[in-house]
Amino acid sequence: MASSTRPRAAAKAPPPEGVLVLEEFLPYRLNVLATIVSQGFARLYSERFGISIPEWRVIAMLGQHRTLTSKAIGERTHMHKTMVSRAVTDLERHGLLSRLANRADKREAFLSLTDAGRRIYAEIVPLAHDYAARLTAELSDADRAAFDRIVSLLRERSDIVFMSERNDGVTG
């Protein structure tokens, strides 16, 4: 088929067989980018408001939805229930969150932000929008839309790939 001298777009040469160029490997690239981006954002609120990433996620959920149970927060944020429990305890201790026992099912409680919690939320939200805007300032509208779409696709796809691995040993 292709001769060994077929023209290439003068770009980079393909790596030799059996070699992986780590800097081009998707999981690695995503990991580095996500770490820098999310640590950069965490720095904006962690020192100023004394809250951790899990606490921020709980605040963000309750700012967005007003009232949720711990279980619902865990499901929506991919946080383990132990992390949610600890974050909720800490936020309550600092007066940013209040619990209201569900009288219809006393195992769970409805969580919501206190006034103090809402004030912090109201301060962080513009920081968040501004941070995302600065990060994507050099992207065209088309690029931004494409990136959102592709991240969503990869996110769905990663679940499928993840689960197909899980079943590798089971289907035999």
Partner DNA sequence: TATTGTTATACTCTATAACTATA
Partner DNA sequence: TATAGTTATAGAGTATAACAATA
Residue 119 binds DNA (CB under 7 A): no
Alpha helices in the chain (DSSP H): 26-49, 53-65, 70-77, 81-93, 115-135, 141-166
Kindly list the residues in this chain that would bind a second copy in the complex (CB under 8 A). 18-38, 40-41, 43-44, 57, 60-61, 63-64, 76-78, 122, 124-126, 128-129, 131-132, 134-139, 143, 146-148, 150-151, 153-155, 157-159, 161-162, 164-165
Residue 127 binds DNA (CB under 7 A): no
- Which of 80, 129, 134, 144 is the binder for DNA (CB under 7 A)? 80
Q: What is the DSSP letter of 164?
A: H
**Beta carbon of residue 84, minimum distance to DNA (angstroms, whole number):** 6
Binding range to DNA, per CB under 7 A, among 12-20, 78-86, 125-133, 146-154: 78-86
Query: 63 is in the binding site of which of DNA, a second copy, none (Cβ under 5 to 8 A by kind)?
Result: a second copy
- Which of 65, 71, 129, 157 is the binder for DNA (CB under 7 A)? 71
Residue 48 binds DNA (CB under 7 A): no
Burial class (CB within 10 angstroms; exposed 0-12, middle 13-18, buried 19+) of 53: middle
Do the Cβ atoms of 118 and 59 come closer than 8 Å? no
Residue 66 binds DNA (CB under 7 A): no
Q: What is the DSSP letter of 93?
A: H
- How many CB atoms lie under 10 A from the CB of residue 102? 12
In Å, the largest CA–CA distance within the chain is 75
Size of the site for DNA (CB under 7 A): 25
- Please identify which residue in the block is written with the tokens 């962690």: 46
Residue 92's identity, in one-letter code, is E
Do the Cβ atoms of 59 and 117 come closer than 8 Å? yes
Category of 46 on φ-ψ map: left (φ > 0), alpha (ψ -120 to 50) or beta: alpha
Residue 89 binds DNA (CB under 7 A): yes
- Residues making contact with DNA (CB under 7 A): 35, 39, 42, 52-54, 69-71, 79-86, 88-89, 104-109
